[in-house]
């Protein structure tokens, strides 16, 4: 089992892979911790004088011609001109009002993952992890990346086919108990026994040093659902949750917000036109990214020795041709990344 690395190899090859994006927007891939992103958003909201109330759960929506009122679990209410349903894949706003018929589906894939402090790992392992290092196995795909470009901390995840958990848990859970953690790590270490060379040693070290494991069944919303109704508009995963295998989930939500901000800023535009334009602009792109994520997810599915060999061979040929022909510098297979929602004509 040889490492299938996306950013590892000759410096010229690595530069080529980033060429299309870097030429247009000034940089290639950027990794941001979700907690850091939340901190930035909270700080911006505070500076803008926007009040954020925590521990609120909506239990009722009253959508009328003159405004929309929500009732919270604590009995309090609030009224506004527009309600944005940003409440995730299991959105109450969608399920109770906008599109009750649209329910999440299990993708057939689940993931394990964890963050490990760089200080817990050997210098050799830290030195090998330059970008996103992905390795195919017969049971699925394992990848390792730095948490941020400058951080020595590593994030690893392993995605594989598994039956839907008997518990029916939709959001996954985190395990910290020693026995539970070992129960997740032992099968993965067994799979990685075939990994050879220094990279194989590094993978086993990374998993062995893991003390907390996050397990998450991957759910999604099939394209075609309704995204708005009356004064309610769905945003992000509440409207179009997809598998994470295109790395664009948060990006899709941010694009939704940027577009809606522009549309709602125009006071002369009726709300029904805002809803129509939002759907018209966003749906084709969201559907395309959904399909890309589903296609990328195929490499995570279980395969025998010959199936693994075939997947590795196809991936290797594709990367080598890409590097040799320089197609990445032209933005081939990167058009979904070279995109600015603010440049879209309204």
DSSP conformation letters of 137-154:
-SSEEEEEEESSSS---E
Sign, Cα dihedral of 114, 115, 121, 125: positive
Q: What's 332's DSSP letter?
A: T
Amino acid 2: pLDDT? 35
Residues 83 and 152 in one domain: no
Copy the structure tokens of residue 35: 């907690």
Does the residue 46 lie in any domain?
no
| CATH code of the domain covering residue 251 | 3.50.50.60
Question: What are the distances in angstroms from CA 201 to CA 129, 160, 188, 194, 195?
Answer: 13, 21, 13, 10, 8
Count other Cβ atoms within 10 Å, centred on residue 58: 18
> Nearest Cα to 129, choosing from 111, 159, 152, 112?
152
Q: State the residue for tokens 């901190």.
A: 39
Copy the structure tokens of residue 221: 């919303």
Question: Considering the entire predicted model, what is its pTM?
Answer: 0.83
Q: State the residue for tokens 């500076």.
A: 47
Work out the pLDDT band at 167, boundaries 50, 70, 90.
Answer: low
Whether 328 shows a pLDDT value over 60: the answer reads no
Phi-psi region of 136 (alpha: psi -120 to 50; beta: other; left: phi over 0): beta
Residues 192 and 139 in one domain: yes
Reported as a single tens digit per residue, the pLDDT across 188-215 is 999 888 887 888 889 999 999 999 889 8
Does the residue 154 lie in any domain?
yes
Does the residue 41 lie in any domain?
no
Does the residue 326 lie in any domain?
yes
Residues 197 and 127 in one domain: yes
Share of the chain above pLDDT 70, in %: 80
Domain boundary pick from 297, 318, 339 = 297
Containing domain of residue 92, as a range? 53-104+221-297
Computed over every residue of the chain, the mean pLDDT equals: 83
CB 264 within 8 A of CB 271: no
Question: What are the distances in angstroms from CA 4 to CA 1, 79, 128, 181?
Answer: 9, 53, 13, 26
Sign, Cα dihedral of 293, 294, 295, 301: positive
Residues 85 and 234 in one domain: yes
Does the residue 344 lie in any domain?
no
Domain total for the chain? 2
CB 185 within 8 A of CB 191: no
Question: At residue 226, what are phi and psi to the nearest 5 degrees?
Answer: -85, 135
Reported as a single tens digit per residue, the pLDDT across 223-250 is 999 999 999 999 999 999 999 988 888 8
3-state secondary structure of 329: helix
Residues 207 and 322 in one domain: yes
Residues 193 and 236 in one domain: no
Residues 147 and 122 in one domain: yes
Reported as a single tens digit per residue, the pLDDT across 58-92 is 999 999 999 999 999 999 999 999 999 999 999 99
Residues 134 and 174 in one domain: yes
Residues 211 and 307 in one domain: yes
Residues 226 and 264 in one domain: yes
Does the residue 37 lie in any domain?
no
| CATH code of the domain covering residue 189 | 3.30.9
Does the residue 208 lie in any domain?
yes
CB 318 within 8 A of CB 328: no
Helices (H), the chain: 11-25, 34-47, 92-93, 123-128, 178-191, 197-208, 237-240, 249-265, 271-297, 305-325
Residues 170 and 207 in one domain: yes
Does the residue 228 lie in any domain?
yes
Q: State the residue for tokens 């990374």.
A: 206
Q: What's 98's DSSP letter?
A: I
Residues 23 and 134 in one domain: yes
- Measured at the alpha carbon of residue 277, what is the angle toward residues 261 and 96, in degrees to the nearest 5? 80
Calpha distance 70→90 (Å, rounded):
17
Indicate the range of 2-11, 106-115, 304-313 predicted with least confidence.
2-11
Amino acid 300: pLDDT? 77
Using only the alpha carbons of the chain, give its radius of gyration.
Answer: 22
Indicate the range of 81-85, 119-123, 142-146, 305-309 predicted with least confidence.
305-309
């Amino acid at each position: 089992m040889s490492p299938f690395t996306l950013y590892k190899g000759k410096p010229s090859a690595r530069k080529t892979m980033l060429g299309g994006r870097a030429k247009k927007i000034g940089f290639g891939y950027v990794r941001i911790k979700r907690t850091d992103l939340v901190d930035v958003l909270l700080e911006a909201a505070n500076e803008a004088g926007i009040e954020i109330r925590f521990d609120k759960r909506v239990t009722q929506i009253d959508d009328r011609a003159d405004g929309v009122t929500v009732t919270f679990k604590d009995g309090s209410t609030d009224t506004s001109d527009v309600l944005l349903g940003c409440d995730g894949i299991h959105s109450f706003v969608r399920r109770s009002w906008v599109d009750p018929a649209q329910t999440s589906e299990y993708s057939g894939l689940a993931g394990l993952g964890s963050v490990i402090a760089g200080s817990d790992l050997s210098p050799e392992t830290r030195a090998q992890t330059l970008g996103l290092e992905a390795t195919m196995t017969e049971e699925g795909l394992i990848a390792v990346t730095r948490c941020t470009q400058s951080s020595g901390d590593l994030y690893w995840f392993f995605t594989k086919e598994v039956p839907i958990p008997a518990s029916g848990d939709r959001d996954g859970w985190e395990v910290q108990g020693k026995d539970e953690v070992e129960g997740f790590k032992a099968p993965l270490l067994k799979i990685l026994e075939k990994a050879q060379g220094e990279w194989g040693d590094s993978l086993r070290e990374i998993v062995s040093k893991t003390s907390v494991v996050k397990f998450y069944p991957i759910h999604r919303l099939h394209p075609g659902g309704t995204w708005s109704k009356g004064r309610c508009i769905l945003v992000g995963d509440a409207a179009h949750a997809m598998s994470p295998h295109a790395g664009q989930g948060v990006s899709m939500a941010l694009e939704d917000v940027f577009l809606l901000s522009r549309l709602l800023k125009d006071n002369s535009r009726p709300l029904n036109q805002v809803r129509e334009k939002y759907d018209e602009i966003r749906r084709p792109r969201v559907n395309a990214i959904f399909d890309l994520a589903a296609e990328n997810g195929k490499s995570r599915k279980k395969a025998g020795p010959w199936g693994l060999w075939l997947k590795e061979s196809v991936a290797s040929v594709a990367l080598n041709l890409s590097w040799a022909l320089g197609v990445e510098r032209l933005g081939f297979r990167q058009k979904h990344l070279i995109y600015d929602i603010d440049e879209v004509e309204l």
